């Protein structure tokens, strides 16, 4: 069985170190020390090195150490994955682009045609992380006031239409959210491979829609037993529909030559977390069940980094250091590899890995952690417990 490894591409800037909370790579923050995109030359003039050039460095690094592709997140404060993907495709050879996309935000017929064109232009390197949004102000920012379960209903119908128009001419559909008459991609585009669908969301509604449409059910890392239960649920539902569900995990790593070095970096990063960052995470208004499961680790209330160690090598304060989900993996190269092995044993068929800074950590994790997978995993896990 082959396991797919993807890297994450940071579409809202990057930190030059896990020790620092500021996005000092990229032009979202005021320019300061460490800033490399844009870079500054003589007289503080921009040197023409744009953030897309930095993303290309990350994509090339990840490609060269063996990652199959990259997840390109989409939030109100990020660059747009649909624009980033074709630009990076011209800079890479086989790297695949996992576009994070909320289906409700685009007409399904038009999106099918755009996707097929992208497939045609890139040699079939497009796939999706189908997301359905977390409600609250971020959802309204997009002009979307649908309630949680209605959003999933819309996602499901959208995927019906998206697949339907790809499959043939004269496709018609009468749903609650979409009505289409006689649609279908032109023959040349229809020949392109239908994109793989990775599907995110932890609610009941999400599991139900995933079991119908997803190639991979994708979850943020959670305590391992909890994650195993969730995988079992979605696999069961898919089996009831006559399918077989693959599962995947999106997880940040702090991997160092020794465990001591890894925890030292976590400690320094944690000690630099500001009250403003804690308050920002406390005040998040969202209807996302997945986000609530991360918040249950209570990262904002911890005063010592040790309070957030939820299991050997699992730390629940990553959102304080770099945004995103709370739980991630911390340890020596061997321990990180062993934890990934354990996740594989518990049903993971794919991963989206990340580390800060994304450029250097793509190299490190690709060179130091991935080659250790599958070796001595069970004995190392015993040693850590
Ligand atoms: C791995 C993963 C990646 C996600 N990426 C994004 C993203 O890029 N943009 C976004 O708006 N939401 C993202 N989300 C959140 C999704 O919109 C998710 O569907 C939403 O939180 C609703 O989840 P629920 O079913 O758990 O309530 C992501 C979720 C997961 C698990």
pLDDT in tens, 189-216: 999 999 999 999 999 999 999 999 999 9
- Number of Cβ within a 10 Å radius of residue 168: 11
SS3 category, 117: helix
Flag whether pLDDT at 236 surpasses 60: yes
| Residue 111 structure tokens | 């999106």
Calpha distance 1→220 (Å, rounded):
22
**Alpha carbon nearest to ligand 1 atom 17, residue:** 133
Flag whether pLDDT at 371 surpasses 70: yes
What is the Å distance from ligand 1's center to 99 Cα?
Answer: 13
Burial class, 260, CB count within 10 angstroms (exposed 0-12 / middle 13-18 / buried 19+)? exposed
**Alpha carbon nearest to ligand 1 atom 12, residue:** 133
Per-residue pLDDT, 384 = 44
Flag whether pLDDT at 365 surpasses 70: yes
**CA atoms 173, 174, 178, 180: torsion sign:** positive
For the segment 355-371, the average pLDDT, to the nearest whole number, is 98
Angle in degrees, CA 118, 119, 123, rounded to 5: 120
Calpha distance 265→253 (Å, rounded):
12
Q: What are phi and psi of 77, to 5 degrees?
A: -100, 15
In 268-287, which positions are buried (b, 16+ CB within 10 angstroms) versus exposed (e)?
Answer: ebbebbeeebeeebeebebb
For the segment 104-113, the average pLDDT, to the nearest whole number, is 96
Q: Is 139 in the pocket of ligand 1 (CB under 6 A)?
A: no
SS3 category, 60: helix
Task: For 302-334, write each residue's pLDDT tens digit.
Answer: 999 999 999 999 999 999 999 899 999 999 999
**Whole-number mean pLDDT of the chain?**
93
Per-residue pLDDT, 294 = 87
Give me the percent of the chain exceeding a pLDDT of 70: 96
Return the higher-pLDDT residue of 159 and 31: 159
**Contact of 195 with 128, CB cutoff 8 Å:** yes
Calpha distance 44→54 (Å, rounded):
19
Closest-lying ligand 1 atom to the alpha carbon of residue 219: 31
**Contact of 190 with 119, CB cutoff 8 Å:** no
For the segment 127-133, the average pLDDT, to the nearest whole number, is 97
Calpha distance 312→203 (Å, rounded):
27
Q: Is 74 in the pocket of ligand 1 (CB under 6 A)?
A: yes
Which residue ranges make up each domain of the chain? 4-384
Q: Is 201 in the pocket of ligand 1 (CB under 6 A)?
A: yes
For the segment 76-94, the average pLDDT, to the nearest whole number, is 96
Per-residue pLDDT, 1 = 66
For the segment 276-290, the average pLDDT, to the nearest whole number, is 87
Per-residue pLDDT, 270 = 97
In 334-354, which positions are buried (b, 16+ CB within 10 angstroms) versus exposed (e)?
Answer: bbbbbbbbbbbeebbbbbbbb
Per-residue pLDDT, 345 = 96
Q: Is 10 in the pocket of ligand 1 (CB under 6 A)?
A: no
Flag whether pLDDT at 377 surpasses 60: no
Calpha distance 315→326 (Å, rounded):
8
What is the CATH number assigned to the segment(s) 4-384?
A: 3.20.20.30
SS3 category, 195: coil
Flag whether pLDDT at 78 surpasses 60: yes
Least confident of 244-248, 255-259, 312-316, 320-324: 320-324
- Number of Cβ within a 10 Å radius of residue 383: 12
Tell if the pTM clears 0.75, that is, is over it: yes
**Alpha carbon nearest to ligand 1 atom 3, residue:** 200
Flag whether pLDDT at 381 surpasses 50: no
By residue count, the chain amounts to 385
Flag whether pLDDT at 382 surpasses 60: no
Q: Is 219 in the pocket of ligand 1 (CB under 6 A)?
A: yes
Q: Is 127 in the pocket of ligand 1 (CB under 6 A)?
A: no
**H runs (alpha helix) in the chain:** 51-64, 81-89, 108-122, 136-141, 148-167, 187-190, 204-213, 224-240, 259-271, 275-282, 289-295, 318-322, 333-345, 358-364, 377-384
Q: Is 164 in the pocket of ligand 1 (CB under 6 A)?
A: no
216-220/196-200 β-pairing:
parallel
Flag whether pLDDT at 81 surpasses 80: yes
In whole angstroms, how far apart are CA 73 and each of 11, 60, 70?
Answer: 6, 18, 9
Per-residue pLDDT, 380 = 41
Task: Considering only CA atoms, give the Rg of the chain.
Answer: 21
Flag whether pLDDT at 376 surpasses 60: no
What is the Å distance from ligand 1's center to 133 Cα?
Answer: 6
């Amino acid at each position: 069985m082959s396991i797919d490894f993807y890297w994450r591409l940071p579409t809202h800037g990057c930190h030059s170190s896990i020790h620092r909370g500021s996005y000092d790579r990229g032009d979202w923050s005021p320019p300061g020390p460490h800033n490399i995109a844009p870079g500054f030359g003589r007289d503080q003039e921009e040197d023409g090195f744009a953030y897309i050039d930095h993303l290309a460095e990350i994509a090339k690094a990840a490609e060269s150490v063996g990652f199959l592709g990259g997840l390109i997140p989409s939030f109100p404060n990020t660059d747009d994955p649909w624009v980033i993907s074709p630009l990076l495709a011209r800079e890479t050879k086989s790297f695949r682009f996992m576009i994070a996309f909320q289906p409700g935000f685009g007409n399904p017929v038009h999106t099918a045609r755009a996707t097929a064109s992208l497939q045609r232009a890139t040699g079939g390197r497009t796939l999706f992380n189908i997301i359905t949004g977390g409600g609250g102000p971020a959802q309204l920012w997009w002009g979307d006031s649908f309630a949680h379960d209605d959003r999933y209903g819309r996602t499901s119908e959208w995927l019906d239409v998206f697949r339907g128009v790809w499959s043939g001419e004269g496709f018609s559909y009468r749903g609650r959210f979409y009505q289409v008459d006689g649609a279908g991609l032109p023959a040349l585009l229809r020949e392109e491979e239908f994109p793989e669908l990775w599907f995110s969301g932890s609610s009941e509604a999400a599991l139900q829609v995933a079991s119908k449409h997803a190639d991979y059910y994708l979850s943020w890392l959670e305590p391992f037993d909890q994650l195993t239960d969730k995988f079992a649920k979605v696999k069961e539902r898919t089996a009831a529909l006559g399918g077989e569900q693959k599962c995947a995990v999106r997880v940040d790593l702090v991997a160092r030559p020794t465990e001591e070095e890894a925890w030292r970096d976590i400690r320094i990063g944690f000690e630099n977390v500001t009250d403003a960052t804690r308050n920002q995470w406390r005040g998040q208004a969202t209807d996302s069940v997945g986000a609530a499961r991360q918040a249950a680790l209570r990262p904002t209330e911890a005063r010592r980094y040790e309070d957030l160690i939820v299991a050997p090598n699992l730390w629940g304060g990553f959102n304080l250091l770099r945004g995103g989900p709370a739980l991630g993996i911390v340890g020596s190269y061997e321990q990180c590899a062993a934890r990934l092995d354990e996740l594989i044993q518990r049903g993971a068929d794919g991963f989206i890995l990340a580390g800060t800074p994304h450029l250097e950590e793509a190299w490190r994790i690709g060179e130091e952690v991935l080659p250790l997978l599958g070796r001595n995993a069970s004995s190392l896990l015993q040693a850590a417990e």
